[in-house]
Amino acid sequence: MEGWVRVGSLSEILPGEHRVVWDGDTPILVVNLDGDFYAVQDQCTHEDFELSAGPIDAGEGVVECVLHGARFDLRSGRPLCGPAYLPVARFPVQVVDGVAWTRDDR
């Protein structure tokens, strides 16, 4: 998986759990939503603050920035409320031989 960053095995990131990995200078938040993996940039678009520090509602597929309460849909990256109005970058996730991988493909 050259060019991809290892996130972890499926047994290490159970449904409802998450992990942050880095692709170069890009922090990537990877979340297991009921067996489907989604990856977004671990950075609120309102303020430069890590989204992974906030609560993740795996049932709704939403992460909330603890700094000012902006909420983002983890599946699409779109903001669900202010003060954020720009979506967070989304990244691909592949599961190969029981291991999840992601990368900054911009």
Does domain 5-102 correspond to CATH entry 1.10.10.10? no
Let me know if 83 is exposed, middle or buried by CB neighbors in 10 A (0-12, 13-18, 19+): middle
At 37 the three-state DSSP class reads strand
User: pTM, whole model, 2 decimals?
Assistant: 0.96
pLDDT tens for the chain, 106 residues long, are 899 999 999 999 999 999 999 999 999 999 999 999 999 999 999 998 999 999 999 999 999 999 999 999 999 999 999 999 999 999 999 999 999 999 999 9
Q: Where are the domains of the chain?
A: 5-102
